[in-house]
């Protein structure tokens, strides 16, 4: 049984245009009506995250590549988890890396899930669908705005 959810603003931090396109296709073809915001490098991701303080929507979920220009995904993750206003946002590392060091460091920095991107198109679509099903249907995400006393 599916529960009806409020659309979630998802921040995708990804510099590979092909992976961005696959993610957009998966989001459009799915049964979820979520907003997808794209950051093409680590610094742009932090700029977007800081922008919510000026009225931009705060992401409810972050999909983060590790190999990014300007600022690495691990550095972005470190900044997110050090910021009391952002640290509760679930972060999923979605990366081509399969290195044990990247997995261990990501979890030490507070990532919620680490997924190595499948290289086959169909498997990548399946992975995105599974992410959506778990994080947007089964899991309960923190509210975008917390009322005082929460």
Question: Tens digit of pLDDT for each residue in 55-74?
Answer: 778 899 999 999 999 999 99
Share of the chain above pLDDT 70, in %: 87
Entry pTM: 0.88
Asked whether 84 and 52 are in contact (CB, 8 A), the reply is: no
Residue 63, both tokens: 């999909």
Please tell me the predicted confidence (pLDDT) of residue 29: 61
Please tell me the predicted confidence (pLDDT) of residue 30: 58
Q: Grade residue 121 by pLDDT with cuts at 50, 70 and 90.
A: confident
Burial of 76 (0-12, 13-18, 19+ CB in 10 A): buried
Residue 80, both tokens: 């997110």
Q: Grade residue 147 by pLDDT with cuts at 50, 70 and 90.
A: very low
pLDDT per position as a tens digit, 89-107: 999 999 988 899 999 999 9
Can you tell me the mean pLDDT for 10-16?
94
Domain assignments of the chain as residue spans, ordered by start: 9-138
Burial of 56 (0-12, 13-18, 19+ CB in 10 A): middle
**88 CB-near residues (< 8 Å, 6+ apart):** 142
Please tell me the predicted confidence (pLDDT) of residue 130: 86
Please tell me the predicted confidence (pLDDT) of residue 2: 46
Q: Tally DSSP H helices, then E strands, for the chain.
A: 5, 5
Res 27 pLDDT > 80: no
Distance CA(8)–CA(67), nearest Å, equals 25
9-138 under CATH 3.40.50.2300, yes or no: yes
Please tell me the predicted confidence (pLDDT) of residue 102: 95
Please tell me the predicted confidence (pLDDT) of residue 31: 57
Tell which phi-psi region holds residue 42, choosing left (phi > 0), alpha (psi between -120 and 50) or beta.
alpha
pLDDT per position as a tens digit, 123-133: 888 888 888 88
Mean pLDDT of the chain: 86
């Amino acid at each position: 049984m599916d529960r009806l959810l409020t659309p979630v603003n998802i921040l995708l931090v990804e510099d590979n245009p092909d992976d961005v396109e696959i993610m957009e296709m998966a989001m459009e073809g799915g049964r979820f009506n979520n907003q997808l915001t794209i950051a093409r490098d680590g610094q742009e991701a932090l700029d977007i995250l800081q922008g919510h303080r000026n009225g931009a929507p705060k992401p409810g979920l972050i999909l983060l590549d590790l190999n990014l220009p300007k600022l690495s995904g691990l550095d972005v993750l470190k900044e997110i988890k050090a910021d009391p206003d952002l640290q509760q946002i679930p972060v999923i590392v979605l990366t081509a890396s399969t290195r044990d060091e990247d997995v261990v460091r990501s979890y030490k920095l507070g990532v919620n899930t680490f997924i190595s991107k499948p290289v086959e198109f169909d498997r990548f679509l399946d992975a995105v669908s599974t992410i959506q099903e778990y994080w947007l249907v089964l899991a309960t995400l923190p509210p975008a705005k917390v009322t005082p006393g929460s």
